Chains A and B, each alone.
Chain A
Amino acid sequence: RKEVEQDPGPFNVPEGATVAFNCTYSNSASQSFFWYRQDCRKEPKLLMSVYSSGNEDGRFTAQLNRASQYISLLIRDSKLSDSATYLCVVNIPGGKLIFGQGTELSVKP
């Protein structure tokens, strides 16, 4: 089992749609969780950290379920500029970050 698993992509959605990405992690000792986005041929950029109580930043909502070892990212009212690969990232003891394989999102007009 991979340490961090994400929904396979690509997700092709129309502008204005709501899209949800899911991620599971295997190390129950993990303490910190993040979503990064990566545009084609660019570096990963931090989108948001994920807190136990869930958190929201504009159109983006992240949830964490520690019991199920599950993280989600919801994007509402998708924009063309949201097209990117979304990486689920989890820390493991020892201070390393483990990246999921990424989910590609394509928002169409």
Chain B
Amino acid sequence: DTEVTQTPKHLVMGMTNKKSLKCEQHMGHRAMYWYKQKAKKPPELMFVYSYEKLSINESVPSRFSPECPNSSLLNLHLHALQPEDSALYLCASSQDRQGSYEQYFGPGTRLTVT
């Protein structure tokens, strides 16, 4: 079963709100990822967790705060976002952080910042 789940599917938030995106996988994968995708563009990497530790932060603004409570869960905490942060946020997981392993994506959270 190559399933990654994400909640919520859709989220509308104001610029002063605080919200969280959640991601879960039960494949025993040890690497998890957050991507941001704008329309007609490929996914852009934001963060990588490997064995529950943050290993890559692609210079993402501090208004995005990732958290990995355990090996199956990944959260993305959002605070004081801007309208240009509206996008599809994708979570992915892979067996390990090494790039030779395929990444499996969740269905994404479509975020609108008003």
Decide whether A and B assemble into one complex: yes
Question: Which chain A residues border B45 with CB–CB below 8 Å?
Answer: 96-97
Is B99's CB under 8 angstroms from A99's CB?
no
Is A44's CB under 8 angstroms from B105's CB?
yes
Q: How large is the interface on B (under 10, 10 to 19, 20 to 34, 35 or more residues)?
A: 20 to 34
Known: A43-B108, A102-B42. A97 touches B97 (CB 8 A): no
Question: Which chain B residues border A91 with CB–CB below 8 Å?
Answer: 98-100
The residue among B41, B42, B48, B106 with the most chain A CB atoms within 10 A of its own CB is B42
B103 within 8 A of A: yes
A-B contact count (CB 8 A): 52
Is A43's CB under 8 angstroms from B97's CB?
no
Report the interface size for chain A: residues with CB under 8 A from the other chain: 22
Known: A43-B108, A44-B43, A87-B42. A97 touches B103 (CB 8 A): yes
Residue-wise, chain A 32-70 has the 8 Å CB interface mask toward B (1 for contact) of 101000000111111001000000000000000000000
Q: How far is the CA of A44 from the CA of B45 in the complex (A)?
A: 13
Q: Shortest CB–CB separation between residue B46 and chain A, in angstroms?
A: 11
Q: Shortest CB–CB separation between residue A4 and chain B, in angstroms?
A: 9
Which residues of A approach B to under 8 Å, CB–CB?
30-32, 34, 41-46, 49, 87, 91-92, 94-97, 99-102
Which residues of B approach A to under 8 Å, CB–CB?
31, 41-43, 45, 48, 50, 55-56, 88, 90, 97-108, 110
